[in-house]
Amino acid sequence: MVSFEVSRTLKKKKFWLGTLTVPFAIALILGLNVISNTTTANKVDTQKNAKFSFNYVDSSGLINSSIARALGGSEITDSAVGVANVKSANSEAFFNYPKDPTVEIISVYGIDKGIFDNGKYSAVATQLLQLSVQNRIGNRELASLIAGKVKVKSTSFLRGKESGSIGDAIPPMIFLLIFYLVLLLLGNQMLTSTQEEKENRVTEIILTTLNPNTLILGKIVSLFVIGVVQITVFASPVILGYSFFRKDLRLPNIDLSTLNFHAVPMIIGFLLLVGGFTLFTGTLVAVGAIMPTAKEAGNVFGVVMALLFAPFWIITLVASDPNSLIVQVFTYFPYSATVTSMMRNGLGSLGAGRAAIVIAELFIFGFIVLKLAMRLFRYGSIEYSKRVSPLQVFRKAKS
């Protein structure tokens, strides 16, 4: 059953068209980014090192005349003359440094060389000011420090143990990423997974050849396999881009050694993922079973997605005040519990006791909803063209 479901999905052109569009788009964006970054970097280097004749007025007193001369500049005192020289093409450019360049604008004038080459004027004006200030400080390292080019490593402790770093938070948050990816990629398919049987009037034949529980579980497993294929396809350009074009893409170097994989938060994250996945899958399958068409079932998908993203509305509160009432409500309400608890697990504010309650709640609710989904499929999906209420289904099941 799983192989039929997986192979028929993988054989569909539509599936590959949809799946490959994403990596192609990512590859295209990354490619354009590489080209753009390379071109821009080359251009900026060329432009800031460009040499041309210019006048400048220095009201700030910061400009070093020797450096200015070396770059092709000559100082004048009247800015109106400087602008007039550019207009009459007697000088290629004119820079007007104000009294306080930290708050006032440096005005740059130049002969039009086209939209891209015009950038050299502001590049040289900025370069001249930076070199002059650096020269005034007289120390390259000090100048770099003032520019804020420093690396800081902070270490915090909880009950005598090192904790609270971003390296602690990221690993458990991976489960949150997986949870979102799986549901965003497969949510709609979960919703419509039983629609095909219903719309094609196959339900009755299926119910007499296959246990509905086997069918639903088989569909979930096959969806998961398809999801893994999709995630792999989607992730491949990102991984390739990072591995081979990291510098061109100006991506930060991710140092995996700074990540701390602690067993407890990782286990909690995994259990929250499984519990949350069960709950949302069950809900989507249940909705699909009572809706007559995929189109009508799709209307409900938006609501489920809203529930999935709801905890992000209070993300600052989750980080700053995890004990507030609203965060507590989001932590324990089944449909917001997964995401809120995963965030708190990463940020270290969930706690083992609270985690145990949420995990138990998710598994219990997930199991109930999954059983409900199976029942709704069994009794609801043979009402082929009608939308049935869960109450009607139970009346049929109990009668």
Partner 1 sequence: MDLGQGEPLVHVQDFQMSFGSTKVIENLSFDVYQGETFGFLGSNGSGKTTTIRSLLGIYQATSGTLHIGGAPFSPDRNINLGYLPEERGLYKKEVTLDVMVYFGRLKGLSKVNAVNWSMNFLERVGIASRAKVRLDKLSSGEQQKVQLGITIMNDPLLLILDEPTKGFDPVNRRLLMEIIDEQRIAGTTVLMVTHQMEEVERLCDRVLLLKDGKARAYGTVSQVQDEFGSTSIDIELLGEIPLSDSYRVLRSNPDITQIVASVGNTPESILKELVLLGVQVKSFAEKKTSLDEIFIHIYGDEPIKEMT
Contact set with partner 1 (CB under 8 A): 1, 4, 8, 12, 196, 200-202, 204-211, 378-379, 382, 384, 395-399
The CB-of-390 to partner 1 minimum distance in angstroms stands at: 14
Q: Which amino acid is at 144?
A: S
CA distances from 290 to 266, 286, 377, 378, 380 (A): 37, 7, 7, 10, 5
Q: Pick between residue 253 and residue 399 the one whose CB is nearest to partner 1.
A: 399
Q: Pick between residue 180 and residue 394 the one whose CB is nearest to partner 1.
A: 394
The CB-of-288 to partner 1 minimum distance in angstroms stands at: 16
Q: What 3-state class would DSSP assign to 269?
A: helix
DSSP string, 333-389: SHHHHHHHHHHHHHHT-S-HHHHHHHHHHHHHHHHHHHHHHHHHHHHHTTSTTS---
User: How far is 288 from 294, CA to CA, in rounded Å?
Assistant: 8
Q: Pick between residue 195 and residue 341 the one whose CB is nearest to partner 1.
A: 195
The CB-of-396 to partner 1 minimum distance in angstroms stands at: 6
User: How far is 11 from 54, CA to CA, in rounded Å?
Assistant: 66
Q: Pick between residue 9 and residue 336 the one whose CB is nearest to partner 1.
A: 9
User: How far is 200 from 215, CA to CA, in rounded Å?
Assistant: 16
The CB-of-198 to partner 1 minimum distance in angstroms stands at: 10
The CB-of-193 to partner 1 minimum distance in angstroms stands at: 13
Q: Pick between residue 102 and residue 385 the one whose CB is nearest to partner 1.
A: 385
The CB-of-7 to partner 1 minimum distance in angstroms stands at: 8
The CB-of-374 to partner 1 minimum distance in angstroms stands at: 13
Q: Pick between residue 15 and residue 333 the one whose CB is nearest to partner 1.
A: 15
User: How far is 98 from 107, CA to CA, in rounded Å?
Assistant: 8
Closest CA to 348 of 108, 228, 173: 173
Q: Pick between residue 201 and residue 246 the one whose CB is nearest to partner 1.
A: 201
Residue 96's DSSP bridge partners are 57, 107
Q: Pick between residue 154 and residue 399 the one whose CB is nearest to partner 1.
A: 399
The CB-of-227 to partner 1 minimum distance in angstroms stands at: 21
The CB-of-394 to partner 1 minimum distance in angstroms stands at: 11
User: How far is 19 from 185, CA to CA, in rounded Å?
Assistant: 10
Q: Pick between residue 207 and residue 251 the one whose CB is nearest to partner 1.
A: 207
Q: Pick between residue 35 and residue 397 the one whose CB is nearest to partner 1.
A: 397
User: How far is 47 from 34, CA to CA, in rounded Å?
Assistant: 19
Closest CA to 122 of 233, 47, 45: 47
Closest CA to 5 of 164, 202, 156: 202
How many DSSP H helices and E strands does the chain contain?
Answer: 17, 6
Q: Which amino acid is at 108?
A: V
The CB-of-207 to partner 1 minimum distance in angstroms stands at: 5
Cα-to-chain-centroid distance, residue 191: 24
Element (H, E) at 300: helix 294-309
